């Protein structure tokens, strides 16, 4: 048993840290650390910086432009990026579609789409969920009917994260109504500029526009945009979901959030002493810190198990559940620490360039909004209830 | 033993519920909650006409209620409708005047009951973090009157108020329990500077700076230096009101979530048929009933003469709804899934209000600690 990284892994960590010191723009990390809303340009800027170094598509093998990292290196990279306040990599093209195309796409598809993901020419979004199919993903109703050399797509997708920035969407569509649930689904790449595609914003409870509804009315999609075989899309969809769950524990985000929370709590005074010395708050802080320390090791245990290659199986469901619970608790504590100053909602203060002095503690403006926004963590990417079903079935054999 | 409300109270609750259903539906509430004004003057005076304000005060000051259960009934209905109009300010300021005011000061209560004056408590300060005796604002004698200087935090609808109840120190150190005094300050007094903003859960609040605010001798409410006890009395009514409001909001959140579990189908069946979700809903029911009992305990204790018993029941209620309300909010969003995260679903706004109630007049940790401290007072 040895909990330390090997000297080679430590050297790699040093390389990542050096890169972040040299290349991560302070403007971007300040926005992330202060909880300000990122623009499309901010996200694209960070993608371009990573791509220049060859580190954008860190799940991809070398031959397609990835760095060829193993599980430990990916973990180190994602962890250090989160600690440094780097913007999140927008996962839809790089971490989701990319691996699917590499495994199941035609040679022509790989040559066409993969470079465009890397250089930012295409911004992808995910067309999985529908109004009637959230946890029950296999119940997709959006249809695609072959008409000559085109599919004609009709239906609706929802919860399309950053769909308003995207020009391409990968969709699960039903191509065979006779077949049962999982059979009869296909995986289709749709140009969002096509006639008949309409994107409508969904405003979340914190007032943010992050997710969308996407409507398809007689949208003609070249048959060449079918990935793999018709009616076999469920296999590809599930393969994609295993990548959706990588780094799902979000340990780096939590460590960064805990450090920030401690700084805040040390400054907020309650009864003449810092909140960190208030017995009840200190107990809450200690509990989440212990949970996080345990989580770090659980995460590393899962990574070590797949260090030889592949992606974690049902174990990643444990990481998803506990990892999101910890992140939610941390944002809950940050909200609590603000006391009465959790109440103001000053939207302008959530954007870069707000010139007014803060209302309440300097960090206050985004914290309550972030707490409400983070409720999504236990819902998306397979709700925590679905993850428990997976654990019951796959690990416990119930 | 009888846990039924009186017929008068049931009728008041019914007419309030009906008004909210007919005139204060979700779209109307959303419009008001997002407005720059922060409340709607027409709805406010309609609510006053129904008697929602009169019920908060005893007959000797012009009301027709004023008992703990009157206040609880009104605020539970307000919570069901997520009403953002300034009831809490009217209750706290009015009850403070009723408790400690001179005959002339008490005459102002009539304008609180008919809704023509919006009142706000300006007590908490940027550094006070719920501690009621942490007051740095100072009041100094000047001739016959007073001059106030300091800052107040998150004053609910403060910049819309015509009458403010301001706490200030006439003696003692910033964290001293002694030396607090209370002042009735007109909203248009010289030297008040406001910075208003919207709130996360809708409606409006403001930061207040008091710069050499000159007041007459008649602005002092109660005796000089004896404000802490009046404040405790008045904010006690606020604690009961918030606890009852929370209960109303929890009931709606539970009702809507239950409806969703019955109708939302996944895997070919209503999701309410899954035992894992049934048990979570059963837990919520249990918690909410415990919260209801906490509110009943507080409403019964608030009219009593035993200060420690009263304050313990109030802190117990606020602690309970703080903890339970947050849990109800989080669970109801989770049980709804993605749709629970959206602005267009009323449930999301109930969730926000439930969590934000925990940020008014002390959160669950504050009231747990206060409950423990009050217990030590009795045993000494």
Which residues 6+ apart lie within 8 Å of B7 measured at CB?
Answer: none
φ, ψ dihedrals at A21, nearest 5°: -65, -40
**Does B253 reside within a domain?**
yes
Which chain B residues contact residue A334 at CB under 8 A?
Answer: none
Residues A80, A133 within the same domain: no
**Does B339 reside within a domain?**
yes
Taking the Cβ of residue A335 and every Cβ of chain B, the question of whether any pair is shorter than 8 Å is answered with yes
Taking the Cβ of residue A316 and every Cβ of chain B, the question of whether any pair is shorter than 8 Å is answered with no
Residues A259, A222 within the same domain: no
Q: Which of B130, B198, B341 sits opposite A375 (nearest CB)?
A: B341
Residues B185, B324 within the same domain: no
Residues B324, B360 within the same domain: yes
**Does A111 reside within a domain?**
no
Taking the Cβ of residue B229 and every Cβ of chain A, the question of whether any pair is shorter than 8 Å is answered with no
Residue A280 to residue B368, Cβ atoms within 8 A: yes
Residue B334 to residue A371, Cβ atoms within 8 A: no
**Does B238 reside within a domain?**
yes
**Does A102 reside within a domain?**
no
**pLDDT (average), residues B126-130:** 94
**Does B1 reside within a domain?**
no
Taking the Cβ of residue B25 and every Cβ of chain A, the question of whether any pair is shorter than 8 Å is answered with no
Residues A385, A258 within the same domain: yes
For residue A25, give the 3-state DSSP assignment: coil
Q: Which of B200, B267, B349 sits opposite A342 (nearest CB)?
A: B200
Residue B337 to residue A135, Cβ atoms within 8 A: yes
Residues B130, B176 within the same domain: yes
**pLDDT (average), residues B166-178:** 93
Measure in Å the smallest separation between the Cα of B189 and chain A Cα atoms: 23
How does DSSP assign B194-259, residue by residue?
A: EEEEEETTSSEEEEEEEEEEEE-GGGEESSTTBHHHHHHHHHHHHHHHHHHHHHHHHHHHHHHHHH
Q: What tens digit of pLDDT does each residue of A275-318 get?
A: 999 999 999 999 999 999 999 999 988 888 877 666 677 888 99
Number of Cβ within a 10 Å radius of residue A290: 10
Tell me what pLDDT residue A272 has.
83
Q: Is the pLDDT of residue A394 over 70?
A: yes
The confidence band for B2, taking pLDDT boundaries of 50, 70 and 90, is confident
CA distance B280 to B295: 23
φ, ψ dihedrals at B57, nearest 5°: -125, 145
Q: Which of A279, A343, A375 sits opposite B330 (nearest CB)?
A: A375
Residues B95, B143 within the same domain: no
- The CATH number of residue B22's host domain is 1.10.540.10
Residues A155, A295 within the same domain: no
Tell me what pLDDT residue A57 has.
94
Q: Which of A134, A341, A368 sits opposite B266 (nearest CB)?
A: A134
**Does B24 reside within a domain?**
yes
Residue A134 to residue B337, Cβ atoms within 8 A: yes
Residues B238, B375 within the same domain: yes
**pLDDT (average), residues A145-159:** 97
Residues A251, A203 within the same domain: no
Residues A304, A370 within the same domain: yes
**pLDDT (average), residues B335-350:** 97
Taking the Cβ of residue A10 and every Cβ of chain B, the question of whether any pair is shorter than 8 Å is answered with no
Hey, what are A389's tokens?
Answer: 């079903």
Residues A152, A276 within the same domain: no
Hey, what are B55's tokens?
Answer: 């019920």
**pLDDT (average), residues B260-272:** 95
- The CATH number of residue A165's host domain is 2.40.110.10
**Does B313 reside within a domain?**
yes
Taking the Cβ of residue A182 and every Cβ of chain B, the question of whether any pair is shorter than 8 Å is answered with no
Which chain B residues contact residue A204 at CB under 8 A?
Answer: 341-343, 348
Touching B: A residues 147-176, CB under 8 Å: 158-159
Which chain A residues contact residue B205 at CB under 8 A?
Answer: 343-344
Residues A255, A359 within the same domain: yes
Place of tokens 């109270």: B9
Tell me what pLDDT residue A2 has.
83
**Does A116 reside within a domain?**
no
Residue B266 to residue A269, Cβ atoms within 8 A: no
Residue B153 to residue A388, Cβ atoms within 8 A: no
Residues A77, A147 within the same domain: no
Q: Is the pLDDT of residue B177 over 70?
A: yes
Query: Minimal Cα distance from A139: which residue of B?
Result: B267
**Does A95 reside within a domain?**
no
Residue A344 to residue B356, Cβ atoms within 8 A: no
- The CATH number of residue B291's host domain is 1.20.140.10
Mean of pLDDT over chain B: 96
Residues A206, A250 within the same domain: no
Query: Minimal Cα distance from B266: which residue of A?
Result: A136
Residue B130 to residue A341, Cβ atoms within 8 A: no
Residue that finishes a domain, picked among B224, B257, B282: B224
Which chain A residues contact residue B235 at CB under 8 A?
Answer: none
Which chain A residues contact residue B279 at CB under 8 A?
Answer: none
The DSSP 8-state label assigned to residue B188 in this structure reads T
Residues B196, B161 within the same domain: yes
- The CATH number of residue A251's host domain is 1.20.140.10
Taking the Cβ of residue B368 and every Cβ of chain A, the question of whether any pair is shorter than 8 Å is answered with yes
Q: What tens digit of pLDDT does each residue of B11-52 get?
A: 999 999 999 999 999 999 999 999 999 999 999 999 999 999
Query: Minimal Cα distance from A368: which residue of B?
Result: B200
Residue A368 to residue B333, Cβ atoms within 8 A: no
Which chain B residues contact residue A368 at CB under 8 A?
Answer: 200, 356
What's the structural domain count of chain A?
3
Measure in Å the smallest separation between the Cα of A284 and chain B Cα atoms: 10
Measure in Å the smallest separation between the Cα of A210 and chain B Cα atoms: 11
Residue A342 to residue B369, Cβ atoms within 8 A: no
Taking the Cβ of residue B134 and every Cβ of chain A, the question of whether any pair is shorter than 8 Å is answered with yes
Q: What tens digit of pLDDT does each residue of A31-84 get?
A: 999 999 999 999 999 999 999 999 999 889 999 999 989 888 999 999 999 999
Taking the Cβ of residue A388 and every Cβ of chain B, the question of whether any pair is shorter than 8 Å is answered with yes
Tell me what pLDDT residue B339 has.
95
| Exposure class string for B188-198: b at 16+ Cβ within 10 A, else e | ebeebebbbbb
Residues B353, B366 within the same domain: yes
Q: For the ranges A193-202, A306-315, A375-384, B76-85, which has the lowest average pLDDT?
A: A306-315
Residues B98, B131 within the same domain: no
List residues of A with catalytic annotation.
244
- Kindly calculate the radius of gyration of chain A based on its CA atoms and give it in whole angstroms: 22
**pLDDT (average), residues A307-331:** 87
Q: Please, are residues A46 and A53 in contact by the beta-carbon 8 Å criterion?
A: no
Residues B105, B136 within the same domain: no
Residues A289, A366 within the same domain: yes
**pLDDT (average), residues B276-293:** 98
What's the structural domain count of chain B?
3
Q: Is the pLDDT of residue B99 over 70?
A: yes
Q: What tens digit of pLDDT does each residue of A246-272 get?
A: 677 889 999 999 999 999 999 998 888
Residues B279, B149 within the same domain: no
Q: Please, are residues A163 and A125 in contact by the beta-carbon 8 Å criterion?
A: yes
The whole-angstrom distance between residue A345's C-alpha and the CA centroid of its chain comes to 26
Tell me what pLDDT residue B380 has.
60
Residues B208, B237 within the same domain: no
pTM: 0.96
Which chain A residues contact residue B134 at CB under 8 A?
Answer: 271-272
**Does A94 reside within a domain?**
no
Mean of pLDDT over chain A: 93
Residue B338 to residue A132, Cβ atoms within 8 A: no
Domain housing A295: 245-395
Residue A343 to residue B201, Cβ atoms within 8 A: yes
Which residues 6+ apart lie within 8 Å of A280 measured at CB?
Answer: B365, B368, B369
CA distance B191 to B186: 11
CB neighbour class for B229 (10 Å; exposed up to 12, middle 13-18, buried from 19): middle
Residue B342 to residue A376, Cβ atoms within 8 A: no
**Does B202 reside within a domain?**
yes
Q: Is the pLDDT of residue A350 over 90?
A: yes
Residue that finishes a domain, picked among B201, B224, B247: B224
**Does A98 reside within a domain?**
no
**Does A133 reside within a domain?**
yes
- The CATH number of residue B135's host domain is 2.40.110.10
Residue that finishes a domain, picked among B66, B98, B113: B113
Structural element, H or E, at residue A197: strand A197-203
Measure in Å the smallest separation between the Cα of A283 and chain B Cα atoms: 11
- Pick the residue with more confidence: A98 or A132? A98
Residue that finishes a domain, picked among A64, A89, A114: A89
Residues A135, A177 within the same domain: yes
Taking the Cβ of residue A345 and every Cβ of chain B, the question of whether any pair is shorter than 8 Å is answered with yes
Tell me what pLDDT residue B121 has.
98
**Does B216 reside within a domain?**
yes
Taking the Cβ of residue B330 and every Cβ of chain A, the question of whether any pair is shorter than 8 Å is answered with yes
Residue B355 to residue A343, Cβ atoms within 8 A: no
Domain housing B369: 229-379
- Candidates A331, A340, A388: best to mutate against B (most CBs of B within 10 A) is A340
Q: Please, are residues A338 and A319 in contact by the beta-carbon 8 Å criterion?
A: no
Which residues 6+ apart lie within 8 Å of A235 measured at CB?
Answer: A104, A228
Which spans in chain B are helix H?
A: 7-23, 26-34, 41-50, 68-81, 87-100, 103-106, 109-113, 227-263, 275-301, 307-336, 346-357, 364-379
Hey, what are B161's tokens?
Answer: 């108020």
């Amino acid at each position: 048993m040895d909990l330390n990284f090997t000297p080679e892994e430590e050297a790699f960590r040093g390389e990542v840290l050096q890169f972040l010191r040299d290349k991560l723009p302070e403007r971007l990390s300040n926005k992330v650390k202060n909880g300000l809303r990122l623009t499309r340009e901010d996200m694209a800027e960070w993608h371009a910086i990573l791509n220049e170094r060859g580190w954008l598509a860190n799940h991809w093998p070398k031959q397609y432009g990835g760095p060829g990292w193993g599980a430990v290196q990916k973990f180190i990279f994602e962890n250090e990026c989160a600690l440094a306040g780097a913007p999140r990599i927008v996962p839809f093209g790089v971490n989701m579609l990319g691996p699917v195309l590499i495994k199941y796409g035609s040679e022509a598809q790989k040559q066409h789409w993969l470079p465009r993901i890397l250089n930012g020419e295409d911004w992808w979004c995910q067309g999985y969920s529908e109004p009637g199919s959230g946890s029950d993903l296999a119940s997709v109703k959006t249809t695609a009917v072959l008409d000559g050399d085109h599919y004609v797509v009709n239906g609706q997708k929802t919860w399309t994260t950053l769909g308003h920035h995207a020009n391409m969407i990968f969709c699960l569509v039903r191509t065979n109504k006779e077949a049962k649930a999982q059979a009869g689904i296909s995986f289709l790449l749709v140009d969002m500029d096509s006639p008949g595609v309409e994107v409508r914003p969904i405003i979340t409870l914190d007032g943010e526009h992050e997710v969308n509804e996407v409507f398809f009315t007689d949208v003609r999609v070249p048959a060449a945009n079918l990935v793999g075989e018709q009616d076999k899309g469920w296999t590809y969809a599930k393969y994609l979901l295993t990548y959706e769950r990588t780094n799902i524990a979000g340990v780096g985000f939590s460590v960064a959030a805990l450090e920030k929370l401690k700084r805040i709590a040390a400054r907020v005074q309650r009864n003449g002493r810092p909140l960190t010395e208030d017995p009840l708050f200190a107990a809450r802080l200690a509990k989440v810190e212990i949970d996080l320390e345990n989580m770090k090791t659980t995460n590393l245990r899962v990574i070590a198990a797949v260090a030889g290659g592949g992606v974690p199986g049902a174990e990643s469901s444990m990481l998803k559940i506990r990892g999101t619970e910890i992140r939610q608790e941390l944002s809950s504590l940050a909200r609590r620490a603000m006391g009465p100053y959790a109440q103001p909602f000053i939207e302008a203060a959530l954007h870069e360039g707000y010139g007014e002095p803060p209302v309440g503690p300097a960090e206050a403006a985004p914290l309550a909004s972030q707490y409400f926004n983070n409720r999504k963590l236990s819902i998306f990417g397979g709700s925590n209830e679905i993850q428990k079903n997976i654990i019951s079935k796959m690990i416990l054999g119930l | 033993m009888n846990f039924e409300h009186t017929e008068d109270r049931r009728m008041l609750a019914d007419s309030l519920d009906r008004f909210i259903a007919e005139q204060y539906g979700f779209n109307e509430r959303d419009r008001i909650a997002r407005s720059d004004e922060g409340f709607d003057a027409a709805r406010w005076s309609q609510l006053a006409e129904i008697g929602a304000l009169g019920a908060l005060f005893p007959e000797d000051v012009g009301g027709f209620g004023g008992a703990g259960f009157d206040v609880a009934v009104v605020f539970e209905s307000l919570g069901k409708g997520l009403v953002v109009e300034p009831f809490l300010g009217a209750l706290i300021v009015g009850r403070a005047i009723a408790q400690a005011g001179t005959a002339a000061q008490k005459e102002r209560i009539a304008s609180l009951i008919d809704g023509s004056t919006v009142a706000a408590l300006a007590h908490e300060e940027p550094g006070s973090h719920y501690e009621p005796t942490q007051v740095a604002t100072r009041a100094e004698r000047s001739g016959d009157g007073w001059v106030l200087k300091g800052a107040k935090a998150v004053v609910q609808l403060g910049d819309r108020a015509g009458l403010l109840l301001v706490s200030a120190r006439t003696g003692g150190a910033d964290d001293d329990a002694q030396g607090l005094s209370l002042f009735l300050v007109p909203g248009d007094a010289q030297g008040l500077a406001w910075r208003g903003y919207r709130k996360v859960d809708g409606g409006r609040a403001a930061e207040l700076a008091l710069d050499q605010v000159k007041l007459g001798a008649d602005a002092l409410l109660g005796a000089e230096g004896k404000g802490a006890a009046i404040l405790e009395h008045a904010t006690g009514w606020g604690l009961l009101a918030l606890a009852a409001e929370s209960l109303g909001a929890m009931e709606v959140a539970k009702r809507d979530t239950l409806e969703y579990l019955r109708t939302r189908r996944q895997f070919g069946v209503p999701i309410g048929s899954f035992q894992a979700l049934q048990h979570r809903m059963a837990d919520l029911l249990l918690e909410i009933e415990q919260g209801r009992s906490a509110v009943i305990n507080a409403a019964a204790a608030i009219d009593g003469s035993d200060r420690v018993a009263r304050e313990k029941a109030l802190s117990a209620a606020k602690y309970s709804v703080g903890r339970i309300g947050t849990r109800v909010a989080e669970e109801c969003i989770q049980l709804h899934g993605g749709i629970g995260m959206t602005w267009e679903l009323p449930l999301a706004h109930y969730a926000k209000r439930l969590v934000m109630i925990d940020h008014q007049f002390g959160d669950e940790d504050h009231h747990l600690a206060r409950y423990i401290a009050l217990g030590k007072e009795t045993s000494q």
